[in-house]
């Protein structure tokens, strides 16, 4: 049996000693599972994402992605792990403004040969796969692909960001408040498209939002509480 | 390489501010290399004041002083050389030519030099260049004068005009040899040496205008007219100094020694090259000051580069977080920003050199005419290449600072984008 996508065991993190910003006793997310993480600002959402991305390591406890413990990897290896296995979608200003739509989608393959090879294993070229993803996310007009991203609407930009996160089939997609700038209608459309495509690839989704209305679309919800505990040894 | 094309596209996105940075660096580089060029040129032009002369002979004094008054026409000789001694040495079998130099009179602030036709035949400056007449010819008659280029330009003299020579230095000398005016027969082309500010007459002419003078005072009631002067023996009794060209350079030192040991009067022979180098070393302070200024200019240019890079860093935090989330390593971010700094510096240097060469090409005639500096558009000298390399290295080092900060940001921001 495959190891779970995400395993957390008595995880704690503090930027400075004595000021914990995050405490999670236990969490296990299976592959292909869709987890909704709900929490207000200050609840440690950003910290959880940084821990998942391997930018910071836990103060206490364990975090394993795809069976790999993040603490055991060096900083460079964590960067490579993130490049190979994680797709990230941010809240806003997701794309590099000086690249075209297509170039933005191709970016992950610059940093990861694993993702490049995964694409080439099933598509004839990187561009073909990028175009396929854009079409799946309903960016169908070819004249859109060569355009600077700044000429796109926010909703279109967010879909380009999703295509970029999906490029090269990473096992885990992390979305950090990707819908907060969208109106309700485009929000629902965006989440549906994202989840549809992830289901097709068997991707694990970790979707962070303060917007509880989205929760029913996911398999499970994790509510992060604002942590205000004095350090206990 | 992917990072490279990313860096270029990112830079193109900020073309406006990047262009300003390049311009700032270009101006600093232009000033640095320009000042360096002028400095080197001033030095060369100084060393080029005299060439082809093996020895300068004068009364015994310091070698710098002898050089100053004989070649640069600065200051006065404390003693003169007897004409007989001059003739004796000129007749030495090793001596190919000599140029007599008689100084002490002036014309409206310009020095008058008494010399003979050998001056125009044998005097050489720069790399073996002879004196060239822009118009006219050497003096032939007793009361004829040849003008240096600057004298002719500033006083507005034409061929055939008359000039009155005053005794001693200064523009408003009270005692003028106004009974014996000189006719302009030749004007020299510019040489960028003290010759440009000199009037040249024959040694006999110097003697003639002093006929009715004794101990520096005009004798009253004893004036000798120009016509009477022609009748007399005008061979001078003494001269200020003379230049010597030898048949073989091998004999330079032995002749120098025998002149220094000359029995009839205390004489001194100096090697012009050695004396010029010694004199230049006295002026080294001014040279260093120029260099310090140009280095300060480059520092201000690099500070501008740093300001622009750090300023753009804040708006690029977003970009850096996106690249980090895609798996970019810290060293890749560092190299992204350092490459940018290196590229901007390189473009700045290239543009700066282009501006400099354009400036030199345009101002070349002015420099030559007014400052006597011959600036050439030529490939950078070894020293200039070193300066350019140092600027480049400093640019790269400057890029490391924002690069390092970007790396710190990327750690602090983690996976979130903060604006």
Binary contact (A88, B6; C-beta < 8 A): no
Range in A89-103, B182-196, B211-225 with the lowest mean pLDDT:
B211-225
CB-side exposure of B123: number of CA atoms within 13 Å? 22
**Residues near A107 by Cβ (< 8 Å), separated by ≥ 6?**
A96, A99, A164, A167, B326
Residues A124, A129, A131, A134, Cα dihedral to 10°: 170
Answer yes or no: is pLDDT of B278 > 90: no
Q: What is the pLDDT of residue B354?
A: 93
Both tokens assigned to B219: 């004798």
Range in A16-25, A212-221, B66-75, B85-94 with the lowest mean pLDDT:
A16-25
Q: How far apart are the first and last CA of chain A?
A: 36
Higher pLDDT: A40 or B261? It is B261
Q: What is the pLDDT of residue A221?
A: 86
Q: What is the pLDDT of residue A130?
A: 85
Binary contact (B10, A92; C-beta < 8 A): no
Binary contact (B12, A98; C-beta < 8 A): yes
Confidence class for position B171, pLDDT limits 50, 70, 90:
very low
Smallest Cα distance from B345 to chain A, Å: 22
**A interface with B, Cβ–Cβ below 8 Å:** 46-47, 49-50, 52-53, 55-56, 75-76, 79-80, 82-84, 86, 88, 90-99, 103, 107-108, 110-112, 164, 174, 176
Residues in chain A: 233
Q: Which of A53, A76, A102 to mutate to test the interface with B (most CBs of B within 10 A)?
A: A53
Contacts A83 to B, Cβ<8 Å: 326-328
Binary contact (B327, A75; C-beta < 8 A): no
- The domain spans of chain B are 2-46+284-413, 55-270
Smallest Cα distance from A128 to chain B, Å: 19
Q: Are B95 and B184 in contact (CB under 8 A)?
A: no
Smallest Cα distance from B321 to chain A, Å: 9
Q: What is the pLDDT of residue B346?
A: 93
**Average predicted confidence (pLDDT) for chain A:** 82
Q: What is the pLDDT of residue B418?
A: 52
Strands B95-107 and B166-167: antiparallel
Higher pLDDT: A164 or B214? It is A164
Measuring CA to CA, how many Å separate A207 from each of A166, A174, A194, A219, B200?
Answer: 14, 6, 10, 11, 96
Q: What is the pLDDT of residue A13?
A: 81
Smallest Cα distance from A146 to chain B, Å: 14
Q: What is the pLDDT of residue B411?
A: 66
Q: What is the pLDDT of residue A111?
A: 83
Measuring CA to CA, how many Å separate B397 from each of A69, B275, B339?
Answer: 37, 43, 10
**B interface with A, Cβ–Cβ below 8 Å:** 2-3, 6, 9-10, 12-13, 318-319, 321-330, 410-411, 414-417, 419
Binary contact (A52, B415; C-beta < 8 A): yes
Three-class DSSP category at B323: helix
Answer yes or no: is pLDDT of B221 > 60: no
Give the residues across from A33 on adjacent strands. none
Contacts A80 to B, Cβ<8 Å: 327, 329
Answer yes or no: is pLDDT of B62 > 70: yes
Q: What is the pLDDT of residue B223?
A: 59
Contacts A79 to B, Cβ<8 Å: 327-330
Binary contact (A96, B329; C-beta < 8 A): no
> Does the A32-57+75-223 domain belong in CATH 3.40.50.300?
yes
Q: What is the pLDDT of residue A167?
A: 87
Question: Average pLDDT, stretch A113-133?
Answer: 84
Per-residue DSSP letters for A1-61? -PPPSEEEEEEEEESSTT-EEEEEEEEEE-TT-EEEEE--TTSSHHHHHHHHTTSS--SEE
Contacts A13 to B, Cβ<8 Å: none
Confidence class for position A78, pLDDT limits 50, 70, 90:
confident
Answer yes or no: is pLDDT of B135 > 80: yes
What percent of chain B is predicted at pLDDT more than 90? 18
Range in A190-194, B22-26, B245-249, B408-412 with the lowest mean pLDDT:
B408-412
Confidence class for position B86, pLDDT limits 50, 70, 90:
very high
Interface A-B, measured as beta-carbon pairs within 8 A, has a size of: 81
Q: Which residue of B has its CA nearest to A208?
A: B416
Residues in chain B: 419
Report the distance separating Cα B8 and Cα A98, nearest Å: 10
**Residues near B233 by Cβ (< 8 Å), separated by ≥ 6?**
none
Range in A20-29, B22-31, B168-177, B384-393 with the lowest mean pLDDT:
B168-177
Question: Average pLDDT, stretch A32-55?
Answer: 80
Answer yes or no: is pLDDT of B298 > 80: no
Q: What is the pLDDT of residue B256?
A: 92
Answer yes or no: is pLDDT of B102 > 70: yes
Helix-strand-coil split of chain A, %, nearest 5: 40, 25, 35
Smallest Cβ–Cβ distance between B329 and the set A53, A76, A99 belongs to A76
Range in A184-198, A216-230, B284-298 with the lowest mean pLDDT:
A216-230
Answer yes or no: is pLDDT of B331 > 50: yes
Q: Which residue of A has its CA nearest to B325?
A: A88
Both tokens assigned to B281: 């070393």
Binary contact (B322, A56; C-beta < 8 A): no
Contacts A210 to B, Cβ<8 Å: none
Smallest Cα distance from B418 to chain A, Å: 10
CA B260 to chain centre: 31
Report H helices in A146-233: 154-166, 184-201
Question: Average pLDDT, stretch B17-28?
Answer: 86
- State pLDDT tens for residues B63-81: 888 988 888 888 888 888 9
Q: Are A100 and A147 in contact (CB under 8 A)?
A: yes
Answer yes or no: is pLDDT of B216 > 60: no
- State pLDDT tens for residues B357-404: 999 888 887 777 666 666 777 788 888 898 889 889 988 888 888 888
Range in B4-8, B73-77, B150-154, B162-166 with the lowest mean pLDDT:
B162-166
Q: What is the pLDDT of residue A81?
A: 86
CB-side exposure of B41: number of CA atoms within 13 Å? 20
Report the distance separating Cα A190 and Cα A163, nearest Å: 11
């Amino acid at each position: 049996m495959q190891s779970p996508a995400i395993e957390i065991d008595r995880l704690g993190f503090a930027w400075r000693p004595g000021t914990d910003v995050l405490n999670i006793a236990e969490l296990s997310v299976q592959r292909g599972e869709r987890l909704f993480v709900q929490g207000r600002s200050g609840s440690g959402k950003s910290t959880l994402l940084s821990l998942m991305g391997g930018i910071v390591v836990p103060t206490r406890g364990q975090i394993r992605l795809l069976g790999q413990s993040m603490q055991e990897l060096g900083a460079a290896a964590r960067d490579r792990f993130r490049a190979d296995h994680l797709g990230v979608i941010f809240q806003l200003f997701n794309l590099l403004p000086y690249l075209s739509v297509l170039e933005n989608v191709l970016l992950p393959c610059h940093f990861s040969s694993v993702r490049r090879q995964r694409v080439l294993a099933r598509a004839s070229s990187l561009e073909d796969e990028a175009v396929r993803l854009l079409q799946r996310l309903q960016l169908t007009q070819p004249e859109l692909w060569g355009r600077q991203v700044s000429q796109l609407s926010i909703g279109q930009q967010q879909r380009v960001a999703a295509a970029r996160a999906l490029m090269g089939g990473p096992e885990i997609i992390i979305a950090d408040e990707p819908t907060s700038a969208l109106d309700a209608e485009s929000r629902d459309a965006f989440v549906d498209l994202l989840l549809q495509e992830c289901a097709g690839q068997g991707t694990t989704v970790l979707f962070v939002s303060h917007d509880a209305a989205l929760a029913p679309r996911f398999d499970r919800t994790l509510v992060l509480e604002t942590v205000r505990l004095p350090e206990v040894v | 390489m992917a990072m490279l094309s990313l860096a270029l596209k990112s830079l193109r996105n900020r073309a406006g501010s990047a262009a300003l940075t390049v311009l700032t660096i270009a101006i600093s580089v232009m000033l640095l290399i320009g000042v360096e060029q002028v400095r080197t040129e001033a030095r060369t032009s100084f060393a080029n004041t005299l060439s082809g002369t093996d020895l300068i002979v004068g009364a015994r004094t310091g070698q710098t002083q002898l050089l100053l008054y004989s070649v640069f026409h600065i200051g006065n000789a404390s003693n003169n050389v007897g004409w007989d001694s001059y003739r004796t040495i000129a007749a030495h079998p090793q001596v190919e030519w000599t140029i007599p130099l008689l100084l002490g009179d002036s014309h409206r602030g310009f020095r008058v030099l008494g010399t003979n036709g050998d001056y125009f035949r044998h005097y050489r400056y720069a790399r073996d260049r002879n004196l060239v007449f822009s118009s006219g010819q050497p003096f032939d008659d007793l009361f004829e004068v040849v003008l240096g280029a600057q004298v002719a330009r500033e006083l507005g003299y034409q061929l055939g005009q008359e000039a009155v020579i005053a005794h001693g230095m200064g523009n408003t000398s009270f005692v003028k040899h106004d009974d014996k005016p000189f006719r302009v027969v030749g004007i020299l082309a510019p040489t960028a040496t003290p010759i440009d500010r000199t009037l040249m007459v024959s040694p006999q002419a110097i003697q003639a205008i002093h006929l009715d003078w004794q101990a520096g005072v005009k004798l009253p009631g004893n004036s000798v007219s120009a016509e009477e002067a022609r009748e007399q023996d005008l061979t001078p009794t003494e001269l200020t100094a003379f230049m010597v060209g030898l048949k073989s350079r091998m004999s330079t030192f032995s002749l120098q020694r025998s002149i220094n040991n000359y029995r009839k009067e205390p004489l001194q022979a100096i090697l012009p090259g050695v004396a010029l180098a010694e004199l230049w070393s006295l002026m080294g302070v001014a040279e260093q000051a120029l260099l310090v200024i140009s280095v300060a200019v480059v520092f201000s240019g690099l500070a501008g580069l740093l300001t622009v890079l750090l300023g753009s860093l804040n708006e690029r935090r977003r970009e850096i977080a996106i690249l980090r989330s895609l798996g970019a390593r810290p060293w890749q971010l560092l190299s992204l920003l350092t490459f940018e700094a290196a590229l901007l510096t390189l473009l700045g240097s290239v543009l700066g050199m282009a501006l400099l060469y354009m400036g030199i090409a345009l101002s070349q005639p002015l420099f030559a005419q007014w400052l006597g500096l011959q600036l050439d558009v030529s490939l950078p000298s070894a020293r200039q290449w070193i300066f350019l390399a140092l600027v480049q290295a400093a640019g790269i080092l400057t890029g490391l600072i924002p690069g390092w900060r970007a790396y710190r940001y990327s750690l602090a921001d983690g996976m979130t984008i903060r604006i």
